[in-house]
Structure 1
Amino acid sequence: MLKSLVFSLMAVQAAMGSRFAMYIDQYHTVDLPGSDQTQEITHAIMAFAPSKQFNTDSSFTPFETVEAMRKRFGPDTKVMIAIGGWGDTAGFSDGAKDEASRTRYAKNVATMINNLGFDGVDIDWEYPGGNGEDYRKVPNSQKTGEIEAYPLFLEAIRDAIGKDKILSVAVPGKRGDMIAFTKEQGPKIWSSVDMVNVMSYDLMNRRDNVTNHHTSVAGSLDTIKAYKDIGLDTAKMNLGFAYYAKWFTTDPNSDCAEHPIGCAVVTLENPDGSDTGKSGALTFEKGNMASPPDNLKTSTDGTCGYAKGTKCPSGSCCSQYGNCGTGDDFCQAGCLSDYGECKGISVTDSWRRALKDGKTDEQAGGQYYWDSTANLFWTWDTPEIIDRKFKDIVTAEKVGGVMAWSLGEDTLNWEHLKGMQKGLGQ
């Protein structure tokens, strides 16, 4: 008996920190790795199904079949579907509002995952209770009912899909966005789910007015502790990692040269909550990181960039989204100077300076760079920071697993994926 207890304890300890959930989004499917590079990934989460889809009996078709997705991973990897995502809250709000709507929504989710062969579902509601992308148009005061409805919504989905299917949730990293995650509601939420994907990144966003790390050891640890405080067992948590850097335009009159962390930024969000175009993200893809191909052709269909192998015609700019044009949306911040002209700053050139001269905030455990030429502040994870997160958070706090967004955003050399695989092997 004692021997079996010892082996059971060893098994639990071995499993601690071994869960690896990976999002695969529909917009980054070029150059995805083969199964020989993804063996450590235990949960592959395809993103996204629209939240409104399940308020009716309409069918859903994912961007790739479950069978095709399974071939990208090891034989034991669970393939799941994520519902929602940033800016997609209306369907959840409607689905959660009363018992009848919750029952209908849950039944449709269960039907979908069973018919398509998914192993589970991830509810990515950003965010119940408010502070989502629509917070200026639909104020938080109109969403207070979601605080109590959210755990009931998850309970209905759990009942509908059964215990053989996996139910996970993606939850905010910033304390100010944890409106529905209270000490009273927390235990009701956690009891329905198998794992919690903690988005411990985007800790600086366009609603902030001074620079800070969008992801760091200190920031991620604070997020983990916030959820511990409302009753979430760390064994259910997946610590989140971002496969992208973020940049923010700083105020030319600020003191960023002396104090790059905590210096003023320009207005990053319009009064209606929309983006001013003065901040953004840059993924660790070949298209953003690698030198352009030698045989670039001139675009004939209005698209541009590394993946297309095309540049814009003379006088035209290539936007950060890979489209040619001449307006500010194409030629200002985010413009890809390797594939067209740019007016003003080039985010690509600034990022290259950041990579070359980036600095480590040893105390906070974050990588950053302030570009005085472009007045841009950069913040991102390096393999060294990833290693620290495993040691100082995953191991120290006995976190049950890790998660990353998203696989197709690390295609240059997979150094962030490899960094996480190394951390899991320690």
Structure 2
Amino acid sequence: MVKNCFHLLLFVAVPVLLGMTFKETPKPIVLAYVGGFRGLVDTDQIMAEKLTHINYAFVDVKNNRAWLHSLATDTTNFRRLNSLKKRNPDLKILISIGGWAWSENFSDAVLSDTSRLSFAQSAVDIVRQYDLDGIDIDWEYPGMKGEDNVFRPEDKQNFTLMFKALREQLDALKQQTGKRYFVTTALPGFKEIFVHTEMGKLHPYLDFLNVMSYDFYVNGPKVGHHTNLYPGGGVENEQSGERAVQLYREAGVPMEKLVLGLAFYGRGWELANDNHKDAPRQAVKTNRVGGYTFIKDSLLTNPAFVRYWDRKAKAPYLYQPEQKFFISYDDEESVRYKCRYAKKKGMAGVMFWEYFNDPKGYLLTEINRQFQ
């Protein structure tokens, strides 16, 4: 009898102790930006089972409201993207508002209590009408001109108040539907953004923050790795994914809210000389490159291009010596290091721009392999 009681006690106590000891780890975020600017989205090409979130890019800002540029195309795309939930019921679909080309009216839209409310309500109306899962803000950039945008010193506080308004409106919608809604943002990896934002005040309104740890170099004349995880050396105050994460942590954003950005595309330049290994490199011309599927299938198979691996930066690059053509990009190896970094540091996961830059899914497959 005593022995049986002991076994019964053990049977009850062990699960309780295990429950107290082990906490289930959240599934890593794997977020894809999907471009509606291309037209109708071919969802048959999207590997929905390998994603947790899709951010639909982009919704514009016009007359202090979130505005669909092409109503017929956008609404069809919303319906198509929602249909992916048949294959992955846990998939979340968000609208991403702004982007590089459509950030010019943010400053006006959030300037006053009235305009902020109008903007937030219009954005939430889109979420409600098309049964979406949340709102991502890609303002490039508050307090800075971006692509010759309107900007003001007041953007700093209004940026925070905008997220407060969005959260309040989505929470009100939740009361009606019982559904959880997401508020997220995409922000750059350079330090100037912290002068014009209040990260410690705004992050409580966010579910997570997408760190755009790419485009470290764009137009030149100095160029180098545009999406390196670590500094490669030779450049003062060199930008990197790790440095971007550190800056957000120092600004008060919890590690578990940070999502590390990956580039599914390359950036290329014609160098001024043949010293492609010397940093910083000098460029005389910017060259269009394309996405990773093109890089892997067409450039890596071309003997004129040589792949190099920067061990310090954990970043690949291609070089074509005849034209002094330097290409910076992410590949399976660099993605592997980034995913491992995100896991080791306790980050929320990874995101990438843009899904159809790698329609064959080379990099997405590697992401999933690392997060299994």
TM-score by length of structure 2 reads: 0.82
Match of residue 258 from structure 2: 237
How far 1:387 sits from its partner (Å)? 0.9
How far 1:157 sits from its partner (Å)? 1.1
Structure 1 residues 240 and 53 mapped into 2: Cα distance closer, same or farther (>3 Å)? farther
Structure with more helix by fraction: 2
How far 1:53 sits from its partner (Å)? 6.4
Match among 330, 334, 349 for residue 401 of structure 1:
349
5 Å-filtered alignment, 1:104-123, equals 104-123=118-137
Match of residue 358 from structure 1: 307
Say if 2:316 and 2:331, in contact at 8 Å, map to a contact too: yes
Say if 1:190 and 1:232, in contact at 8 Å, map to a contact too: yes
Structure 2 unaligned blocks of 5 or more: 1-12, 175-179, 231-239
Match of residue 383 from structure 1: 332
Alignment partner of 2:30: what SS? strand
Match of residue 79 from structure 1: 93
Return the alpha-carbon distance in structure 2 between the equivalents of residues 174 and 155 of structure 1.
Answer: 24
Match of residue 154 from structure 1: 163
Structure 1 residues 103 and 126 mapped into 2: Cα distance closer, same or farther (>3 Å)? same
1:224-246 per-position Cα deviation (integer Å, ceiling 9, x unaligned): 11101111111111111111111
Structure 1 residues 57 and 21 mapped into 2: Cα distance closer, same or farther (>3 Å)? closer
Return the alpha-carbon distance in structure 2 between the equivalents of residues 2 and 231 of structure 1.
Answer: 38
Match of residue 26 from structure 2: 15
Structure 1 residues 161 and 353 mapped into 2: Cα distance closer, same or farther (>3 Å)? farther
Structure 1 position 282 matched with structure 2 position 301: no
Return the alpha-carbon distance in structure 2 between the equivalents of residues 410 and 58 of structure 1.
Answer: 26
Match of residue 247 from structure 1: 268
1:171-192 per-position Cα deviation (integer Å, ceiling 9, x unaligned): 11222344423xxx11111011
1:238-259 per-position Cα deviation (integer Å, ceiling 9, x unaligned): 11111111102222xx4625x3
Aligned-residue CA RMSD (Å): 2.8
1:314-370 per-position Cα deviation (integer Å, ceiling 9, x unaligned): xxxxxxxxxxxxxxxxxxxxxxxxxxxxxxxxxxx799457x521000011111133
TM-score by length of structure 1 reads: 0.72
How far 1:55 sits from its partner (Å)? 2.5
Return the alpha-carbon distance in structure 2 between the equivalents of residues 230 and 100 of structure 1.
Answer: 29
Say if 1:19 and 1:401, in contact at 8 Å, map to a contact too: yes
Return the alpha-carbon distance in structure 2 between the equivalents of residues 85 and 57 of structure 1.
Answer: 13
Q: Which amino acid aligns with 2:243?
A: D
Match of residue 209 from structure 2: 196
Structure 1 residues 244 and 368 mapped into 2: Cα distance closer, same or farther (>3 Å)? same
Match of residue 261 from structure 1: 279
Structure with more strand by fraction: 2
Structure 1 unaligned blocks of 5 or more: 269-277, 292-348
Q: Which amino acid aligns with 2:275?
A: C
Return the alpha-carbon distance in structure 1 between the equivalents of residues 136 and 20 of structure 2.
Answer: 29
Say if 1:248 and 1:378, in contact at 8 Å, map to a contact too: yes
Return the alpha-carbon distance in structure 1 between the equivalents of residues 146 and 243 of structure 2.
Answer: 21
Match among 192, 200, 205 for residue 187 of structure 1:
200
Match among 102, 107, 120 for residue 93 of structure 1:
107
How far 1:94 sits from its partner (Å)? 1.1
